[in-house]
């Protein structure tokens, strides 16, 4: 058996925030990646953390979920559908009592059936402060529950195949004509195993000079099999004031056409797309023009002063 850990896909809190704070408990890790062969039983643990001032008893369970394009999980009530990975998961104990301000490791097993296809299966291990909690059905929250997302890759005929669907760099509000831009792109996982894309976005001016470059998906977010995920963010600091824009234009001076190049890599695959726009450092140009006007005005005042002083001296002789 091989075991792999990645940074969390999303926060372990998959419930309403205020009820969770009142219940004062947490689950770790936020997500867990396991891998095994058909017929194999994998053993692991999750930690239940009681941050409260009193002893609490927790109930463990499982739920299926499906992501949307932002990979926000939509949870499916156990009674509606619990086929697949939830059926592979077993707990030696379904309830655990945790003293105040204490962490307890809770064991679980995953038994991979003999007749399942290769690829990544996913589900959530849930922890509830009461066995009678009602599971919300709108996908926005699991009432008074917390979860650790579990990803199990069945080894064998795995296929890693990613596609970069689109890429755009846009301005918004006071970012018009600025070098810094909002970006968005979509990645589709056409394989049967989870993918964690990486890469960079680079801004290049008309003469080929690299202006800015930054990595994408630094959070190591996953794209699940046969799903599409949208990524968004900013390249460069988006100015929030005239001063911020001026400092940005001084640090990264550019004028005219700019090409934003996105490079995405996953496994042995590499993709790239470009988007073009124009930038004009008008904050810097306006500041420079104002400085010139002020200098010319001062020069004119000084010249008049010298002329007046010269006439006074000439008249006194």
152, 34 Cβ separation under 8 angstroms: yes
Q: What is the pLDDT of residues 201-252, one digit of tens each?
A: 999 998 999 999 999 998 888 999 999 999 998 888 788 888 888 888 888 8
Q: Which residue, 183, 116, 133, is CA-closest to 23? A: 133
Q: Which residue, 62, 89, 66, is CA-closest to 78? A: 62
User: pLDDT at position 196, please?
Assistant: 93
**Spans in the chain with pLDDT lower than 50:** 1-22, 132-142, 174
Q: Which residue, 248, 245, 277, is CA-closest to 261? A: 277
Q: Which residue, 234, 229, 236, 262, is CA-closest to 10? A: 229
Q: Are strands 31-36 and 145-154 parallel, antiparallel or unpaired?
A: parallel
Distance, in Å, from the CA atom of 254 to the CA atom of 179, rounded to the nearest integer, reads 7
Q: Tell me which CATH homologous superfamily contains domain 162-283.
A: Immunoglobulins (2.60.40.10)
User: pLDDT at position 282, please?
Assistant: 84
Domain 2-154 grouped into CATH 2.60.40.10: yes
Provide the b/e sequence for 125-139 (b: ≥16 CB within 10 Å). bbbbbeeebebbeeb
What are the tokens at 58? 């927790």
155, 37 Cβ separation under 8 angstroms: yes
- In the chain, what is the greatest distance between 2 CA atoms, to the nearest angstrom? 115
User: pLDDT at position 170, please?
Assistant: 81
User: pLDDT at position 176, please?
Assistant: 66
User: pLDDT at position 174, please?
Assistant: 47
Q: Do domains 2-154 and 162-283 have the same CATH topology?
A: yes
Domain ranges of the chain: 2-154, 162-283
Provide the b/e sequence for 63-80 (b: ≥16 CB within 10 Å). bbbebeeebebebbeeee
CB-based burial of residue 276 (10 Å sphere; 0-12 exposed, 13-18 middle, 19+ buried)? exposed
Distance, in Å, from the CA atom of 261 to the CA atom of 168, rounded to the nearest integer, reads 10
User: pLDDT at position 12, please?
Assistant: 37
Distance, in Å, from the CA atom of 277 to the CA atom of 260, rounded to the nearest integer, reads 8
User: pLDDT at position 184, please?
Assistant: 93
Distance, in Å, from the CA atom of 153 to the CA atom of 192, rounded to the nearest integer, reads 9
50, 21 Cβ separation under 8 angstroms: no
Three-state DSSP class for residue 21: helix
């Amino acid at each position: 058996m091989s075991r792999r850990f990645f940074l969390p896909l999303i926060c372990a809190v998959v419930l309403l925030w205020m009820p969770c704070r009142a219940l004062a408990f947490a689950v770790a890790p936020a997500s867990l990646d396991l891998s095994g062969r058909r017929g194999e039983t994998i053993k692991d643990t999750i930690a239940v953390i009681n941050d409260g001032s009193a002893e609490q008893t927790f109930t463990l369970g499982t739920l299926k979920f499906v992501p949307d394009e932002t990979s926000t999980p939509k949870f499916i009530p156990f009674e509606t559908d619990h086929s697949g990975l939830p059926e592979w998961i077993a707990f030696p104990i379904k309830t655990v009592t945790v003293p105040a301000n204490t962490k307890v490791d809770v064991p679980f097993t995953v038994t991979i059936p003999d007749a399942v296809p290769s690829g990544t299966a996913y589900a959530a291990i849930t922890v509830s402060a009461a066995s009678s909690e009602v599971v919300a059905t709108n996908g926005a929250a699991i009432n008074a529950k917390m979860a650790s997302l579990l990803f199990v890759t069945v080894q064998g005929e795995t296929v890693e195949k990613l596609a970069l669907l689109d890429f755009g760099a846009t301005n918004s509000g006071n970012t018009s004509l600025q070098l810094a831009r909002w970006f968005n792109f979509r990645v589709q996982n056409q394989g049967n195993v989870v993918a964690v894309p990486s890469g960079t976005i680079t801004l290049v001016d008309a003469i080929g000079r690299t202006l800015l470059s930054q990595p994408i998906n630094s959070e190591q977010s996953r794209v699940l099999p046969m799903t599409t995920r949208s990524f968004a963010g900013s390249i460069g600091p988006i100015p929030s004031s005239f001063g911020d824009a001026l400092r940005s234009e001084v640090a990264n001076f550019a004028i005219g056409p700019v090409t934003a190049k996105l490079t995405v890599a996953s496994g042995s695959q590499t993709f790239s797309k470009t988007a073009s726009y124009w930038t004009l450092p008008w904050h810097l140009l306006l500041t420079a023009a104002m400085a010139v006007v002020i200098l010319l005005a001062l020069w004119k005042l000084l010249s008049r002063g010298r002329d007046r002083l010269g006439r006074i001296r000439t008249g006194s002789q």
